Structure 1
Amino acid sequence: MRKSYLLTLTMTGLLVGGCGNDAICGGGEYPVQSINGTGRQCVSDQQDPPSGFARYPAGKEPQHVDDKWDVYWRTHAVDQNGRIVDVSG
């Protein structure tokens, strides 16, 4: 009885705790940002960004929902010249 109770508690903790770090993209993909905007999408590692999108600057790629860079890129964008611009209004 005690083992099944501990197993239930462990599994419940994994289910509840496992939802906090949702990845921005799935395996084999990387995130790209719309130029001059805050929209994004995921692209296969084997493809270049589609027209109107650009890679995030190196070291500033969002990895998980609500991480440092995910929050930052909600109010910043990359313009057509590759410069980071504030788009918060």
Structure 2
Amino acid sequence: MTKKTETPDAGDQHAPSLEERLKRLEEIVRSLEAADLDMEGALTLFEEGVEHVRGAEETLRIAELKVEELLGPEEDPVVRPLEEGPE
């Protein structure tokens, strides 16, 4: 039996956008601060929050790499066609 390597949003049909993740994180923080959750509920929300943080970090990392690629080694913009996504 092989161990599944977990990555944020692995296998998701629709991975949340950065904005959706940030909005959900704000909701999670408000719920946790309200302190009306039992321990299990709080841990479940915390776990979801960690997943959203990791996904947001990955989205930002990819965006940073794209910016670095466009700027090039001398910070001169490099123009190249965008990759076509699945239609």
TM-score normalised by L of structure 1: 0.29
TM-score normalised by L of structure 2: 0.29
Structure holding more strand per residue: 1
Structure holding more helix per residue: 2
